[in-house]
Amino acid sequence: MAPFLQELVVSPVTILVLVLSYIAYWRSKHRLLLPVDWPLVGLLPSLVANLRNLHDYVTAVLAASGQSFAANAPAATNMRLFITCDPDNVRHIFTANHENYPKGHEFAEIFDVMAGSFFTMDGEPSRRPRAEQSILGDPRVVASMVSSCHDKVRGGLVPLLASMASRRTPVEVQDLATRLMFDVTAMAVFGVDPGCLSPDMPSMRVSAGMDTIMEVGLFRHTVPACWKAMRRLKVGPERKLAAAHAVLHGFVTEMMEKAKKYRHGHGDDEAEEKRAAAAPPPSAVDILSSYINDPDYNADGHLLRTMLITYMVAGPDTVGTTLSWFFYNLAMNPHVVSAIRHELAPIASRNKAAATSTAATTNGDHHTAVMFSPEDTKPLVYLQAALFETLRLYPPGPIERKTVVADDVMPRGHEVRAGDAVLISLYAMGRMEALWGKDWREYRPERWLTVSVSGDGGGRKKQLRYVPSHKFLAFNSGPRMCHGKHIAVAQMKTVAAAVVWNFDVEVVGGQAVEPKLSCLLQMKNGLVVKVKRRAV
């Protein structure tokens, strides 16, 4: 059971929840999957009893109940829950009747550190989400973000992996991917490289703070009757969350100051100046520059910081988390590695003569890596299929929450009332046999591909199969489609191509690889691997 549950305030209601949770746990052990909708406490005991494997439990319940079920939240919340992974319901919620299903006030409260940003505001009439769309749709911003990722992979990630391979040092993939994408995102947001991927590996208190937001976010989703009281009392996970908020706001303020100083040509000290000189130059089209002249944000320093925090949470979380599961899946499926390398081979052959010489000179050794530009990786359909297959099984955001504005009827006949909370399980959607076939457990990129035959020469060409977004919700759907999708895909392909072509990755045995209890589907214990350089 999650440690934070031990910190709940003892009360008669708490005792009742614990007793019923034990009963719910016993029922799940005896394969009585459908949860009991208890008086007063609703679905809460079943969720608490299955917190350790919550996403798999919800998946099993949805599979047993026709992909949707309704239940009550604790009576104190006066709220009902509708939980689904049915694509027809998803299309209704996200597209056909999307204005009736905003994220809502409760969602904004759960993620209060980002309240007022595009992360919490969908469905509300505001020009701010349109400003975000304009920024991420600016070709200069997109090019800058993709280019900075390529530069960081070439000058930071590949040399670091080569050095660790030479020293036979185990690599913790999740931490490394988080550090990489933290630097890449900070460069895109502030135009400044914080240097978290450097060999000395500075403290990542900010990243830990982001993890806390997502972990406590799931707690707030699960126990709506308790967390607000705990916030008022400043106890349990709410106390930890308050400290995380302070760290994030402090980091954003510090980075804004550094960005301002770098733009004027000087750093804080000699070490900062050296790091700035070694890093790519500050971008003239970073996200901070795009917001700084907007009167809506400039007039309210808090709102600007909130927006910058949102970008910092969204970037490293989505891409970094997906890359961790991607390399885990590749290590478990060497035939997929071979297929990706086969697709990369013609490009690698072309690029080899002009390959970047990387600075892995440990013990007098020298390693030349073959690099792949964003333009190189853009047409690679098998690589993209492998990434999408990872997103199917391990979506970085495993749940979506919406609020019902007006009474409605779902396509399958389920009735929802105004004020109900709707939870969409992306994790379960990717694991439904009815949607993906009997082989849904298999990591099989081929399910994303189709073969077309050209009319003139009869040549056969692989291309990505169309899968509607209401069936594959990793990048959202309908009017809420993620504006940064193409940036995220380009960044993931850039990192994946460089690592897969230049290194062999082997998972160290004896590890328990399972999801963390969080709104972000990170690995609970990380992933330790051995890295070996390839002769390419």
Binding residues for heme: 482
From the list 483, 388, 389, 490, the residue with the least C-alpha distance to 184 is 490
Structure tokens at 113: 């550190």
- Answer yes or no: are the C-beta atoms of 495 and 156 closer than 8 Å: no
Cα-to-chain-centroid distance, residue 388: 13
Task: State in Å, rounded, how far the first CA of the chain is from the last one.
Answer: 47
d(CA 163, CA 239): 40
Say if CB 100 and CB 405 are below 8 A apart. yes
Residue 187 near residue 492 (C-beta atoms within 8 A): no
Bind-site residues? 482
- CA–CA gap between residue 489 and residue 320 (Å, rounded): 12
Which of 327, 330, 343 is CA-nearest to residue 383?
A: 343
Q: Which helix (H) or strand (E) segment is 216 a member of?
A: helix 205-222
Please check whether residue 301 is in contact with residue 116, taking contact to mean a CB–CB distance below 8 angstroms. Answer: no
Q: Nearest Cα to 325, choosing from 523, 175, 520, 160?
A: 523
Tell me the CA distances in angstroms from 412 to 67, 353, 408, 424, one per residue in order: 10, 59, 12, 15
The alpha carbons of the chain give a radius of gyration, in whole angstroms, of: 24
CA dist list (Å): 92 to 71, 99, 229, 367: 20, 10, 35, 53
